[in-house]
Amino acid sequence: MKIAFVLFDGLTFLDFAGFYDVINRLNFFEQTKGTTWETCAMTDQVTDESGLTLKVDRVKPNLAEYDLIFVPGGMGTRKLRFDEAFVGWLRQAENVPLKVSVCTGSLLMGSAGFLTGKKATTHPNVYDLLEPYVAEVIQTRIVKDGNVITAGGVATSIDLGIYVVGLLAGQEAAANVKLQIDYPYEMQGVVEA
């Protein structure tokens, strides 16, 4: 499996880091051993909404090459969803088997057309911004509709990572990851449409 972390200026770092820290553990399990990942962006580095700069692995790769794309959220999504160059690049992932977002990353997925006719979620403060892109906004933490998974606000990125590990490597692997990261909470608010 090959994963693309789609990054951009104005992302929320925990949106990215929470999911990244969990999902990179896929290599610990036989079912998903050999998983690779790359950080991808339109430029060779991005700056999060607090000023932290991240160097990316690949600039504008063809997103169709990946098996899973992950799109974090952040204040940068508000304008970026109307940026034709970025949205056009993101649309390359149309046939990627699994498309995942957390927080307002769903706005970018929506602007690329990935949420048309689907149920989805986002940060609770911006359900209204998601409405034009979806069949229904579900006010919950994680929504899986077909091959698209969207998640709520920032800290949900950790739950989302555990959920995706469970899908790809099994529930025993997900439970193992929870032990590794000392995560004592039970998953809640998951809707599979």
Question: What average pLDDT is seen over the chain?
Answer: 97
Active site (annotated) includes residue 103: yes
Fold of 2-192: Rossmann fold (3.40.50)
Q: Which residue do the tokens 């920032």 mark?
A: 154
CB 57 within 8 A of CB 38: yes
pLDDT tens digits along 54-78: 999 999 999 999 999 999 999 999 9
Q: Give the pLDDT band of residue 161 (cuts 50, 70, 90).
A: very high
pLDDT tens digits along 93-109: 999 999 999 999 999 99
Q: Give the pLDDT band of residue 183 (cuts 50, 70, 90).
A: very high
pLDDT tens digits along 20-38: 999 999 999 999 999 999 9
Catalytic residue among 103, 120, 138, 169: 103
Q: What is the pLDDT of residue 6?
A: 98
Q: b/e map of 6-16 (b: 16 or more CB within 10 Å)?
A: bbbbbbbbbbb
